[in-house]
């Protein structure tokens, strides 16, 4: 029953988006929320039913498709609107609808006072639809449609408060930076079509190992172009710059798009196209290197940021880096596992941050918070769980997923990669607890007036927090290391990756249970050290960080200013294009194009003025000319 | 022998009346002289065996159309135009072109007269030529369709005239 | 009256003369009313020509044509005079050289 209803999963949010979009501003708020939240809730229920059906099949047969209609057919080219449910897309579908549903519920409370309530839910639903199209697509073109639509929704939602110039700018930036990635993705699709004559996942992935040799230039080209798309969407070096600015959007949007779902599209895409990456060691290595560099870059920046949402944004970039590290060493399951747990705890952290901001009447500066645990007990507890999860403390979800990635990095990527990962883990624990301590501990640093307004958030906001807190706690148990039969997700996703992983011999060297235990212990210890350092810096002796910053002043300024990456991009890319465009506009468009158009117009006007003088308006002059004509005609007839 | 005399009489009067139509200052006089032209022509039509046409020339032209003209002249009560002719450069051109047209017509009439060949009297006239009965027979057989079209044209003209005369142009 | 003692050319000459006089009236007079009368004059000149040719060829068609010309003239006069009245009502003039709103 469930699988035949698969099309409803994306269709319902689309319907909600249409109803809320068309009726924006006219529907009563209650109805808008019922439609907005209900459509996603129903989609989640159907997704669960589909998932149940999928589980009832034997592992080899867990791949269901549903053709809706033929989208494009021209010559040899054919693209259907066909949905495909396999274990990988099932995980994504559940994350998108499940976490998405909780965020929708949360939005009812958070956006309760918003004027453009209907518009907000229309965008949110449209986003859910796009993301579901992306993950459920059965060919590259449909995936690209979802991919682009996700980018569009991101633009719309970041710029939701478009009256604020910063928000409008941020939306534009996100869109343009994403376009660069999309360009790579599109080129990748073209290359795939040229090579295989099809864009169907089934055909392409089945043909790829037969047509492309391991390490061939074509495989690397496809894989790297696709990865460029992934860096745009998933905010990796060099295209990560849009994500921190995206925090201009409403906080639930940050949670939904810029933490839990949209940014994972790149990871999903790399996992989906794992065949190409496994065929190209170069691309695989690139993914891992870019991933680990992003981890460190973003983590260091996060240490110095003072805006609560920006810290979380950089932590998102950093965690996405981990996912790519996982994919980059060929452990796609680990990447997807971290994607899932990250969706839980990052959504939790963002929503918790939203609750804090809500309570503090819109304050986002960490230095104007503090001591909030007394005022916001529910938020505090759930936020603590989220922080522990992301820091990688056993038994919370982040520990299992991050540790698995680190273990795989050790196993297949080598000690250097692992060391960098451990450093990232330390930084993660540090900056997250810095955030936590600054927000919830110490003495309040906000004004009396703000204090007066502090209130715990309504149930519609705290209940999603609690559900996410539970998920962040138990989510990791899907992959319990060392225990026989503990790797539930591994086995579930195995059919997707098995055939391709057979291509490359897995590196089993050094895989001993003892090593795994040791590595686990080290990463746990590192996380705890990070927490302790944060505690010492921000609770017991708050003077330390300032002194430290003084001592390494140059380094601090470098990191605090985000390595001047934005400025560098501005100087090397944005400004030249801008200046070139201005030149084109002033010199070419205004002078040549406009000149030609206006010149033609002016000449015609001049000619018309000449002809117009014949129209004297006196009827007798016309009669005279008529007579002249008669004279000529009669003369011709007479003298013929 | 009567015919040339009558022709001379009618043609001279027609031309003289016509001159008066064009060069008289008073519109009422002009209209009355036009009636004179019409009557002279009617006489010529009789000479040319077109009795029916001659009759309706007097009935319709002189009787109906010219009365309409006179009505309008009196309705508008236009005071005699100060300068008779339109001022401006094209007035001279008007005379000049009209003269050329006349010369051309004259040339055609005189040069082609010979090629017509048959003297006017050579063709024996059919019985009943120009009589109302014969006109009616041809009009309602050969020319039936144009005749009906003409009736529609007149209907349109009536409607147009009523609309134009009644509407207030703001 | 079977014979025609006056040649056709004479009739044509008179018709040409009347036509020219009418043309002069159309081209040089100011009053729209007189211009109308001049047009009637030209039409009548043509009518004379038609009737003369009709007699010459012994064909009745020329006379039928005169009949139609008269109908058209009647229609033209009806509409033309209505326009003239409308113009006069608005502009207080019947002079064609004072009506030139169509000037380009």
pLDDT digits (tens, 9 = 90+) for A86-102: 889 999 999 999 999 99
Q: Where are the alpha helices (DSSP H) in A373-487?
A: 377-391, 397-408, 415-440, 448-453, 459-474
What is the overall mean pLDDT for chain B? 83
Domains identified in chain C, total number? 1
Query: What is the number of other CB atoms lying within 10 angstroms of the CB of residue A148?
Result: 18
> In a 3-state reduction of DSSP, which class is residue C84?
helix
pLDDT of residue A223: 92
pLDDT single digits (tens) A136-168? 999 899 999 999 999 999 999 999 988 889 899
- A66 sits in which H/E element: strand A64-74
Residues A561, A549 contacting (CB under 8 angstroms): no
Which range among A459-463, B85-89, C33-37 shows the weakest confidence by mean pLDDT? B85-89
Q: Is residue C1 in a domain?
A: no
Residue C102 lies in a domain: no
Of C21, C78, C90, the CB nearest to B18: C21
Report pLDDT for A146: 92
CB atoms within 10 A of CB A212: 21
The reported pLDDT for the residue numbered A455 is 80
Interface check C69 vs B, CB under 8 A:
no
Print the domain residue range for C76. Answer: 9-93
Q: Are A86 and A137 contacting, i.e. CB atoms less than 8 angstroms apart? A: no
List CB contacts (< 8 A) between B153 and chain C.
71-72, 75
pLDDT confidence tier of residue C1, bands split at 50, 70 and 90 = very low
Which pLDDT score, from 0 to 100, does residue A126 have? 93
Whole-number CA gyration radius for chain C:
17
Query: Where do the domains of chain A lie, and which CATH numbers do they carry?
Result: 3-540 (no CATH), 567-639 (1.20.5)
For residue C51, the model assigns a pLDDT of 92
Task: Confirm whether C3 is domain-assigned.
Answer: no
Tens digits of residue pLDDT in A408-460: 888 888 888 989 999 999 999 999 999 999 888 888 888 877 777 888 888 88
- Per-residue pLDDT tens over the stretch B49-79: 888 999 999 998 888 888 988 888 888 876 6
What CATH number is attached to the domain comprising C24?
1.10.287.3510
User: Encoding tokens for residue A343?
Assistant: 């969706």
pLDDT above 60: residue B117: no
The alpha carbon of residue A156 is apart from the nearest alpha carbon of chain B, in Å, by 55
| Domain-located, residue C101 | no
- Is the pLDDT at B18 greater than 90? The verdict is yes
First vs last Cα of chain A: how many Å apart?
Answer: 95
Asked if residue C31 belongs to a domain, the reply is: yes
User: Whole-model pTM?
Assistant: 0.69
Q: What are phi and psi of A507, to 5 degrees?
A: -85, 110
C71 in B contact zone (CB under 8 Å):
yes
Alpha-carbon gap, residue C13 to C6, rounded angstroms: 12
Average pLDDT over residues C18-38: 90
In the predicted model, residues of chain A with pLDDT beneath 50 are none
Tracing tokens 């559940």 back to the chain, one arrives at: A94
Chain B environment of A624 (Cβ under 8 Å): 90, 93-94, 97
CB A124 within 8 A of CB A41: no
Average pLDDT estimate for C39-64: 91
Please report which helix (H) or strand (E) contains residue A81, including its range: strand A77-85
Which residue, among A345, A344, A177, has the nearest Cα to A245 in the 3D structure? A177
pLDDT band at C45, cuts 50/70/90? very high
Residue for token pair 């006072």 = A113
Query: CA nearest B78 in C: which residue?
Result: C94
Whole-angstrom distance, CA of residue B102 vs CA of residue C39: 16
Residues 6+ apart with CB under 8 A from A470: none
Which of B10, B12, B14, B125 would best serve as a mutation to test chain C binding (most C beta carbons within 10 A)?
B14
Please state the length of chain C: 104
Q: How far apart are CA A22 and CA A16, in angstroms?
A: 10
Burial of C63 (0-12, 13-18, 19+ CB in 10 A): buried
Q: Is C4 a member of any domain?
A: no
Per residue in A344-368, is it b (16+ CB within 10 Å) or e — as a string?
bbbbbbbbbbbbbbbbbeebbebeb
Q: How confident is the model at residue B122 (pLDDT cuts 50, 70, 90)?
A: low
Q: Are C43 and C75 in contact (CB under 8 A)?
A: no
Bridge partners, residue A72, by sequence: A79
Q: How far apart are the first and last CA of chain B?
A: 62
């Amino acid at each position: 029953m469930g699988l035949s209803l698969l099309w409803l999963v994306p269709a319902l949010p689309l319907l909600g988006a249409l109803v809320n979009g068309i009726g924006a501003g006219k529907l009563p708020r209650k109805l808008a929320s019922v439609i907005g939240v209900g459509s996603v809730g129903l989609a989640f229920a159907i997704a669960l039913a589909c998932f149940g059906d999928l589980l009832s099949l034997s592992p080899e047969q867990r791949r269901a498709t549903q053709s809706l209609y033929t989208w494009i057919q021209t010559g040899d080219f054919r693209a259907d609107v066909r949905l495909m449910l396999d274990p990988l897309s099932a995980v994504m579908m559940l994350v998108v609808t499940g976490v998405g549903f909780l965020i929708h519920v949360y939005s009812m409370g958070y956006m309760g006072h918003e004027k453009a309530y209907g518009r907000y839910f229309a965008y949110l639903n449209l986003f859910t639809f796009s993301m579901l199209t992306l993950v459920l697509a059965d060919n590259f073109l449909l995936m690209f449609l979802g991919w682009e639509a996700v980018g569009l929704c991101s633009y719309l939602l970041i710029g939701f408060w478009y009256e604020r110039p910063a928000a409008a700018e941020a939306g534009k930036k996100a869109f343009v930076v994403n376009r660069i990635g999309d360009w790579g993705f599109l080129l990748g699709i073209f290359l795939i079509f040229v090579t295989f004559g099809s864009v169907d996942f089934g055909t392409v992935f089945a043909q790829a190992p037969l047509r492309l040799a391991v390490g061939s230039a074509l495989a690397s080209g496809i894989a790297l172009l696709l990865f460029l798309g992934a860096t745009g969407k998933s905010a990796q070096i060099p295209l990560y710059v849009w994500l921190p600015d995206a925090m201009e959007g409403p906080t639930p949007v940050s949670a939904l798009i810029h933490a839990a779902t949209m940014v994972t599209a790149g990871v999903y895409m790399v996992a989906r196209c794992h065949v190409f990456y496994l065929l190209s060691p170069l691309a695989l290595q690139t993914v891992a290197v870019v991933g680990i560099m992003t981890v460190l870059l973003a983590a260091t920046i996060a240490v110095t940021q003072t805006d609560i949402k920006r810290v979380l944004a950089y932590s998102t970039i950093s965690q996405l880096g981990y996912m790519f590290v996982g994919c980059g060493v060929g452990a796609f399951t680990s990447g997807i596992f971290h994607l899932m747990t990250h969706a839980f705890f990052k959504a939790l952290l963002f929503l918790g941050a939203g609750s804090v901001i809500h309570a503090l009447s819109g304050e986002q500066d960490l230095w104007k918070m503090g001591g909030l645990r007394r005022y916001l007990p529910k938020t505090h507890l759930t936020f603590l769980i989220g922080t522990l999860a992301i820091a990688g403390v056993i038994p919370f979800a982040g520990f299992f997923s991050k540790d698995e990635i680190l273990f795989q990095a050790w196993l297949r990527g080598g000690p250097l990669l692992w060391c960098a990962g451990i450093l990232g883990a330390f930084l993660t624990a540090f900056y997250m607890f810095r955030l936590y301590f600054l927000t919830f501990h110490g003495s309040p640093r906000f004004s009396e007036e703000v204090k007066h307004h502090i209130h715990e958030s309504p149930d519609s906001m705290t209940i999603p927090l609690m559900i996410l807190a539970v998920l962040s706690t138990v989510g990791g148990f899907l992959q319990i290391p060392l225990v026989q039969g503990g790797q539930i997700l591994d086995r579930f996703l195995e059919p997707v990756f098995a055939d391709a992983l057979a291509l490359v011999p897995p590196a089993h060297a050094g895989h001993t249970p003892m090593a795994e235990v040791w590595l686990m212990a080290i990463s746990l210890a590192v996380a705890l050290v990070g927490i302790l350092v944060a505690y010492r810096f921000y609770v017991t002796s708050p003077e330390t960080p300032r002194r430290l910053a003084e001592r390494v002043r140059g380094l601090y300024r470098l990191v605090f200013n985000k390595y001047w990456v934005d400025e560098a991009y501005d100087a090397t890319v944005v400004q030249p294009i801008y200046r070139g465009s201005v030149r084109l506009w002033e010199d070419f468009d205004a002078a040549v194009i406009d000149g030609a158009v206006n010149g033609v117009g002016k000449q015609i006007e001049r000619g018309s003025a000449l002809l117009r003088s014949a129209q004297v308006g006196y009827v007798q002059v016309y009669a005279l000319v008529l007579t002249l004509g008669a004279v000529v005609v009669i003369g011709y007839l007479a003298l013929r | 022998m009567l015919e040339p005399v009558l022709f001379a009489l009618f043609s001279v009067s027609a031309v003289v009346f016509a001159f008066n139509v064009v060069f008289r200052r008073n519109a009422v006089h002009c209209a009355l002289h036009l009636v004179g032209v019409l009557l002279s022509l009617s006489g010529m039509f009789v000479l040319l065996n077109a009795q029916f046409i001659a009759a309706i020339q007097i009935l319709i032209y002189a009787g109906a159309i010219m009365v309409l003209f006179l009505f309008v002249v009196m309705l508008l009560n236009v005071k005699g135009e100060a300068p008779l002719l339109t001022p401006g450069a094209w007035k001279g051109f008007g005379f000049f072109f009209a003269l050329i047209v006349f010369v051309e017509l004259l040339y055609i009439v005189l040069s082609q007269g010979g090629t017509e060949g048959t003297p006017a009297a050579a063709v024996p006239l059919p019985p009943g030529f120009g009589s109302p009965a014969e006109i009616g027979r041809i009009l309602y057989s050969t020319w039936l369709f144009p005749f009906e079209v003409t009736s529609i044209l007149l209907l349109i003209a009536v409607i147009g005239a009523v609309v134009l005369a009644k509407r207030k142009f703001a | 009256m079977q014979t025609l003692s006056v040649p056709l050319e004479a009739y044509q000459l008179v018709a040409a003369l009347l036509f020219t006089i009418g043309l002069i009236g159309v081209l040089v007079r100011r009053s729209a009313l007189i211009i109308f009368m001049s047009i009637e004059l030209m039409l009548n000149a043509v009518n004379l020509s038609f009737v003369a040719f009709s007699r010459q060829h012994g064909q009745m068609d020329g006379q039928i044509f005169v009949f139609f010309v008269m109908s058209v003239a009647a229609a033209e006069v009806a509409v033309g005079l209505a326009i003239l009245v409308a113009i006069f009502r608005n502009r207080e003039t019947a002079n064609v050289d004072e009506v030139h709103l169509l000037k380009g």
